[in-house]
Amino acid sequence: MVIAIDGPAGAGKSTVARAVAAELGFTYLDSGAMYRSVALAAREAGVDADDGAALGPLAAGLEIGFDGRQVLLGGRDVSDAIRRPEVTADASRVSVHPAVREALVARQRALIEAGDYVAEGRDIGTVVSPEAPLKVFLTASDEERARRRAAETGEDVASVLAAQQRRDARDTEREHGALRAADDAVELDTTGLSLEEVVARVVALARERNLAPRSKGDPGDPERTSPQFVREGSPGSPSSETPE
């Protein structure tokens, strides 16, 4: 069973999904790390990120694994290498190719079938697991997303923002597995919210839907969370109200 957490880069998916998984005792699945691993492997093999014909078989043949917070490519720890800016840019390019997506979606489905997961990505609720009993679509303003990413990587906000806009456009406009909220997703705008508030809301939704047992002093009690950051059932644009 899977709780799907989708949304654009920098909306807080990884941090939120990891924390929700820990809180509920589920396994966390970072599907973006799989696309990043394909991008890294392609670079290392000298395969162009636009060469879909070569990337499909390459993606299908890769051994991608997770060990705690580590991402393993053929048994090698690539957790840092896949976060480098040039690999980040290539990941967005390799992820447009249908053969790459098919290979990775098949692996994601196989993992999810075998346990209870909180999986984050762009297409978990729409393609990987349309039957997921809880789908959350996380958004935040463009500036806030860029600020968060810059704080993580040490880059300057303006260049993160520019790269983010290019990736957002590719993610939303691609033909296969495009970034969009599922019709039945709950949209949470995390702009100005603390991690704790967002996690509490997602955990509360999971418990309301009986996906996880209620605990004593349940921090996900909906009474304890501010209602203004949730617009339930409103599939939304990943771009923000904030002017560029």
Q: Which residues bind ligand DC (CB under 6 A)?
A: 9, 31-32, 35-36, 91-92, 95, 121-123, 167, 171, 177
Q: How far is the CB of 18 from ligand DC (least distance, A)?
A: 13
Task: CB nearer to ligand DC: give 86 or 208.
Answer: 86
Backbone angles phi, psi at 83, to 5 degrees: -95, -5
Task: CB nearer to ligand DC: give 32 or 220.
Answer: 32
Closest CA to 20 of 230, 219, 153, 224: 219
Task: CB nearer to ligand DC: give 136 or 204.
Answer: 136
Q: How far is the CB of 92 from ligand DC (least distance, A)?
A: 3
Task: CB nearer to ligand DC: give 92 or 139.
Answer: 92
The burial class, CB within 10 Å (0-12 / 13-18 / 19+), for 241 is exposed
Q: How far is the CB of 86 from ligand DC (least distance, A)?
A: 13
Q: How far is the CB of 108 from ligand DC (least distance, A)?
A: 8
Task: CB nearer to ligand DC: give 11 or 24.
Answer: 11
Q: What's the rounded Cα separation, in Å, for the pair 33 and 233?
A: 28
Q: How far is the CB of 148 from ligand DC (least distance, A)?
A: 12
Query: Which two three-digit tokens encode residue 183?
Result: 């019709």
Q: How far is the CB of 227 from ligand DC (least distance, A)?
A: 28
Q: What's the rounded Cα separation, in Å, for the pair 225 and 133?
A: 21
Task: CB nearer to ligand DC: give 167 or 207.
Answer: 167
The vertex-33 CA angle with 175 and 169, nearest 5°, equals: 35
Query: Which two three-digit tokens encode residue 226?
Result: 């501010």
Burial of 151-181, coded b for 16+ CB within 10 Å and e otherwise, reads: eeeeeeeeebbebbeebbebbeebeebebbb
